[in-house]
Amino acid sequence: MYEQVLNPVGGSALWSSLVAALPLLAVFVLLGSGRLRAHWTALAGLAVAVVLAVLVYDMPAGQALSAALEGAAFGLFPIMWIVVNALWIYRMTVDSGHFDVLRRSFGKVSDDQRLQAVVIAFCFGALLEALAGFGTPVAVTSVMLIAVGFTPLRAAVVALVANTAPVAYGAIAIPVITLSNVTGYPVRELGATIGRQTPVLAVIVPLVLVYLVDGRRGLRETWQPALLGGVVFGIAQFTCASYGPVELTDIVAALASAAVLVGWTRLPRVRRAREVAAEEPPDANGGTDTAGTLTTVRTGTQVTDDDPAEVVRAYAPYAAIIAVFSVAQIPAVKELLAKGVHAVTWPGLHVVSSAGKPVSFSTYNFNWLPAGGTLLLLAGVISAIVLGTGAGRAVRAYGANLRQLAPAVATVVCVLGLAYVMNLSGQTATIGHALASATAILAVLSPVLGWIGTAITGSDTSSNALFGTLQVTAAKDAGLSPTLLAAANSSGGVLGKMVSPQNLAIVAAAAHLHGQEGTIFRRVVGYSVGLLALLCLLVWLQSTAALSWMLP
């Protein structure tokens, strides 16, 4: 039996937390430098974590390796199981020619890539996050953005930044439900408190997306629809989280925001502005500069009228995804799918926390039937039938997909191995307790703790499982609202998702940017940290008389 130790370095919380952070520091520094490909970077971080677990935390070597293997298994299933099947659907649409039809259809809604970024990455991505989560939104929306004319790197960055505000209520509010389970506070109370934080991010993120696509000019020309889409999303998210079913929060917000933005493009003055812009000669500096900044934002003036039946077939794969995931949430169906869930005590792991309680990460859940990847596989079969892809072509596409994703599989396996070694050895808990001990500025650091948890694990759900109870305990000791800091953990976690090595590997694989995870990381880390600083300020103000009125 291995019992975790919180402060193994001289009994000092500060020194212990600095040592415990070395695996993460190694990964981020190597990623940022761009000198190593992502799978070698992740492997280096895993090696550092295992060495610390054995030599500093006195974890038996066999258990440390077993923890790494469990993390690797989780990386294969359910994480890469989702990505493989999501990209299989994409490959079939490309092979059948229907992705070109989809691109032209989006161009008719709006030929402005700035608005396409908001509609596809933010609104449609939020809908996928609500239904599936766990990497599905960035995998699907990045390839959709490429289809409408984005460069792969731009598509990857936009998809990652967009996948923020909806994350706290993703996968039918699983992060909130998990937070409730570990803290003992009601789902409604926690969901409503988060609903006073993430809507602020929702207002800002569409403006950031417009800036990513077209810089300051984009903000000058399209700030109104971007702001409108964000405000509507935020209001809908706040309303549903506070007064409606928490599980439907992102679905309602995504649909409301998308409807408003599509309606905006139909306004007579907007249509006229598009026609005038289309008549203007191209900018002499159009295209993409060496830094990758988009300077031509319209997809073109020539429009091909596709057969309406072909347009329907082009949208069918994404309609199938939404339909399959929606049906899976029907209580009777959900109960039936739950029979495919099998909890397995991972062999060779006998770990208890510093308080002597069993650690949940030593149990591996093989939920093969209700898993997001399995539901995507079903949606893929439906898509193959609708698109007219023969069985042979579908199987060959699947095989080619697996070969292409091999580097991403290696990266995710190593990243999850790293996360599990840190979690089970106690390294993550060391970092968490060190931050929580700073009671004087706890309200400021609370979102940072959630950010770290998601950056390590790639999941806001896992971050809440790791640090939810810790946030509540620390809040009580500091005389702060437990629900406020528990909610802040989840809200801060959504901003750690875009820099998580796991998500970087997923989006790099989806956008065919193998080996460029470091480049993507450098593009998004500033936005992640900047939005986190804003959230920290908001949570701190909510802990004082200045904004305490915002809380439920």
Reported as a single tens digit per residue, the pLDDT across 205-258 is 999 999 999 888 888 888 899 999 999 999 999 998 888 778 778 888 988 998
Kindly give, in sequence order, each residue whose CB lies less than 8 Å from that of residue 502, ignoring residues fewer than 6 positions away: 75, 79, 135, 412, 415, 416, 419, 457, 458
Q: How many other C-beta atoms are found inside a 10 Å radius of the C-beta of residue 370?
A: 18
Kindly give, in sequence order, each residue whose CB lies less than 8 Å from that of residue 328, ignoring residues fewer than 6 positions away: 334, 337, 370, 375
Cα separation, 453 vs 473, in Å, equals: 17
pLDDT, residue 541, reads 94
Q: How many helices (H) and strands (E) does the chain have?
A: 26, 4
Task: Report the sign of the C-alpha dihedral through residues 144, 145, 151, 156, in that order.
Answer: negative
Kindly give, in sequence order, each residue whose CB lies less than 8 Å from that of residue 426, ignoring residues fewer than 6 positions away: 4, 5, 6, 8, 20, 57, 59, 353, 354
What's the average model confidence in pLDDT over 115-125? 88
97: β partners: none
Phi, psi (rounded to 5 degrees) for 345: -75, 120
| Cα angle 367-373-375, degrees, rounded to a multiple of 5 | 90
Residue environment code for 131-148, b if the CB has 16+ CB neighbours within 10 A, otherwise e: bbbbbbbbbbbbbbbbbb
pLDDT digits (tens, 9 = 90+) for 249-284: 888 898 899 889 888 877 765 555 555 555 444 343
Q: For 198-226, give the secondary structure using H, E and C.
A: HHHHHHHHHHHHHHHHHHHHHHHHHHHHH
Could you tell me which residue, 309 or 206, shows the higher pLDDT? 206
Pair of tokens at residue 350: 């006998």
pTM above 0.85, yes or no: no
Q: 3-class DSSP state for residue 389?
A: coil
What's the average model confidence in pLDDT over 359-363? 74
pLDDT, residue 203, reads 94
Lowest mean pLDDT among 239-253, 312-326, 362-376, 459-473: 459-473
Position 291 pLDDT exceeds 50:
no
Contact between 106 and 120 under an 8 Å Cβ cutoff? The reply is yes
Position 47 pLDDT exceeds 90:
yes
For 400-506, strand residue ranges (E) read none
Q: State which of 31-45, 60-74, 81-95, 422-436 shows the largest mean pLDDT.
A: 60-74
Q: Which of 493, 461, 383 is nearest to 140 (CA)?
A: 383
Contact between 46 and 414 under an 8 Å Cβ cutoff? The reply is yes
Pair of tokens at residue 301: 């003036």
Q: State which of 24-38, 192-206, 308-322 shows the largest mean pLDDT.
A: 192-206
Q: State which of 195-204, 309-318, 326-335 shows the largest mean pLDDT.
A: 195-204
List, as one string, the DSSP characters of 259-321: HHHHHHHTSHHHHHHHHHHHHSPPPTT-SB-TT--B---B--S------HHHHHHHHHHHHHH
